[in-house]
């Protein structure tokens, strides 16, 4: 069971929250900042315990390690593709730490401008810049004693990286335009979908800050490598959404179950949730979700785009795929050439790919694009 939490994100121009010292701490956009209150907070609560599905051995191991790491104050760097569950893992670390009764700050570094990010983190003094009509505590002061989760930290500008490094080393924060540093006691958990070591090598990220963040790193596998979790996640999203709109939860057809397992999910859990909610709206109340209720074309295009980004060979245009052996001319469609090659190779995709002069990954992406079934290899008759 997760600790109780209060989602206090509001538009900066519409609301504000009182900080412990009486100053107002304006919060920025909901997608950028969220403060999760401690377990003893007197506020409306939301339990996200039903949003966690952990079945794959790799995920079980990661979450077990996260709970052990939570007992210390070591900095944690979470790695993984966008939408793979890094925020959930950060909340797991906070919930199992000694700071669980203190606030947790979630800040998306990619969604806020550099000037606003600095002011929000460190606060500012009255008159420090145009529009600073009064002094404002920073978010690091507001969550003193708690956990700071910096998401998309690889997007943080270099100038701000240097200032944050000083804060981490000295455990003091100086407001913009201020002279007196203020003590803070926070734990940093960071996340990125970038290769920070590579960013350090090319000079886009400070090496000293990288090592400060990387006390221990935990890498989340993408959803396509967690096949046993896909269907339970879909059913969870379907049941939750159906309950919200007062409908009976639907079931999944065998074809849909198979398609969900084949799709590479470049958007990971976020893409999966969006697809589940869309399918629920399209199908009837309590009906079975079939392939007709899924955006098959969009899924195929996303799969092909992902495959091309993953394999340089896929950057070739469709017209560059040579015809199979024995094919006399280029007039035959690519779809037909692929079908012929698979027939000549008795369904063996690796052999068909060689015959076509492309990689097996390219062939698989074409099968998805043309909505062709992936054949099972069979023995060829002499």
Residue 63 sits at the vertex; the CA angle it makes with 90 and 143, to the nearest 5 degrees, is 20
One domain for residues 245 and 123: no
* Interacting residues of 93 by C-beta distance below 8 A, sequence separation 6+: 66, 67, 69, 70, 76, 147, 189
- 270/187 Cα distance (integer angstroms): 27
One domain for residues 185 and 287: no
Cβ pair 340, 327 in contact under 8 A: yes
Q: Residue 135 — φ and ψ, nearest 5°?
A: -70, 150
One domain for residues 187 and 95: yes
Question: Tens of pLDDT along 72-110?
Answer: 999 999 999 999 999 999 999 999 999 999 999 999 988
Q: Which of 219, 247, 281 is the last residue of a domain?
A: 219
Q: Which of 200, 219, 238 is the last residue of a domain?
A: 219
Sign of CA dihedral 93, 72, 5, 193: negative
User: Which of 192, 96, 194 has the alpha carbon at shortest distance from 147?
Assistant: 96
- 319/332 Cα distance (integer angstroms): 11
User: Which of 213, 210, 216, 215 has the alpha carbon at shortest distance from 197?
Assistant: 210
Q: Domain total for the chain?
A: 3
Is 3 strand, coil or helix? coil
DSSP state of 84: S
Torsion over CA of 253, 259, 265 and 269, rounded to 10 degrees?
A: 10
Q: Residue 309 — φ and ψ, nearest 5°?
A: -70, -25
**Is residue 63 domain-resident?**
yes
- Whether 36 has a pLDDT exceeding 70, the answer reads no
- 79/57 Cα distance (integer angstroms): 18
CATH code assigned at 348: 1.10.10
Q: What pTM was computed for the model?
A: 0.72
CATH code assigned at 283: 1.10.8.60
**Is residue 12 domain-resident?**
no
One domain for residues 203 and 254: no
The share of the chain scoring above pLDDT 70, in percent, equals 79
Q: Which of 274-278, 294-298, 316-320 has the lowest mean pLDDT?
A: 316-320
One domain for residues 74 and 91: yes
One domain for residues 103 and 247: no
One domain for residues 238 and 193: no
One domain for residues 124 and 204: yes
- 322/334 Cα distance (integer angstroms): 9
Q: Which two tokens stand for residue 117?
A: 């990010």
**Is residue 303 domain-resident?**
no
Cβ pair 22, 136 in contact under 8 A: no
One domain for residues 110 and 165: yes
Q: What was the pLDDT predicted at 10?
A: 24
One domain for residues 257 and 371: no
Distances (CA, A) of 281 to 198, 200, 237, 263, 329: 43, 45, 12, 21, 46
**Is residue 299 domain-resident?**
no
- 292/279 Cα distance (integer angstroms): 9
DSSP state of 50: G
**Is residue 337 domain-resident?**
yes
Q: What was the pLDDT predicted at 378?
A: 52
Torsion over CA of 198, 204, 209 and 212, rounded to 10 degrees?
A: -20
Q: Which domain holds residue 335?
A: 311-382
- 292/47 Cα distance (integer angstroms): 34
CATH code assigned at 89: 3.40.50.300
- 254/246 Cα distance (integer angstroms): 25
**Is residue 160 domain-resident?**
yes
Question: Tens of pLDDT along 157-205?
Answer: 998 899 899 999 999 998 888 888 899 999 999 999 999 999 999 999 9
* Interacting residues of 319 by C-beta distance below 8 A, sequence separation 6+: 330, 334
Q: Which of 152, 187, 219 is the last residue of a domain?
A: 219
**Is residue 341 domain-resident?**
yes
**Is residue 3 domain-resident?**
no
Question: Tens of pLDDT along 331-346?
Answer: 457 788 888 778 777 7
One domain for residues 188 and 56: yes
One domain for residues 80 and 206: yes
- 262/266 Cα distance (integer angstroms): 12
């Amino acid at each position: 069971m997760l600790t109780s939490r209060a989602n206090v994100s509001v538009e900066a121009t519409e609301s504000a929250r009182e900080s412990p010292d009486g100053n107002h701490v304006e919060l920025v956009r909901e997608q950028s900042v969220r403060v999760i209150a401690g377990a003893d907070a007197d506020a409306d609560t939301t339990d996200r315990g039903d949003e966690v599905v952990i079945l794959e051995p790799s995920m079980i191991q990661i979450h077990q390690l996260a709970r052990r790491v939570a007992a210390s104050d070591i900095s944690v760097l979470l790695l993984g593709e966008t939408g793979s569950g890094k925020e959930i893992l950060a909340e797991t670390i906070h919930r199992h730490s000694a700071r669980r009764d203190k606030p947790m700050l979630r800040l998306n570094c990619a969604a806020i401008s550099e000037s606003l990010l600095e002011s929000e983190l460190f606060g500012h003094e009255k008159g420090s810049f145009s529009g600073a009509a009064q002094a404002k505590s920073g978010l690091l002061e507001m969550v003193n004693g708690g956990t700071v989760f910096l998401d998309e930290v690889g997007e943080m500008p270099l100038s701000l990286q240097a200032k944050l490094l000083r804060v981490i080393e000295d455990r003091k924060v100086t407001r913009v335009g201020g002279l007196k540093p203020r003590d803070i006691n926070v734990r940093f958990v960071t996340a990125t979908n970038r290769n920070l070591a590579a960013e350090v090598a090319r000079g886009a990220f400070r090496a000293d800050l990288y090592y400060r963040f990387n006390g221990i790193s935990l890498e989340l596998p993408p959803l396509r490598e967690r096949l046993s979790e896909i269907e339970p996640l879909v059913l969870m999203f379907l049941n939750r959404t159906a309950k919200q709109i007062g409908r009976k939860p639907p079931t999944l057809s065998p074809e849909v179950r198979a398609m969900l397992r084949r799709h590479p999910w470049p958007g990971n859990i976020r893409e999966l949730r969006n697809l589940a909610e869309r399918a629920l709206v399209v199908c009837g109340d309590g009906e079975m979700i079939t392939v007709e209720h899924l955006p098959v074309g969009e899924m195929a295009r996303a799969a092909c785009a992902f495959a091309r980004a993953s394999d340089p060979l896929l950057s070739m245009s469709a017209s560059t795929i040579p015809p199979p052996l024995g094919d006399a001319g280029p007039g035959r469609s690519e779809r037909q050439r692929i079908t012929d090659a698979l027939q000549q190779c008795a369904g063996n995709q690796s052999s068909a790919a060689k015959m076509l002069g492309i990689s097996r990954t390219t062939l698989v992406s074409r099968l998805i694009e043309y909505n062709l079934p992936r054949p099972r290899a069979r023995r060829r008759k002499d």
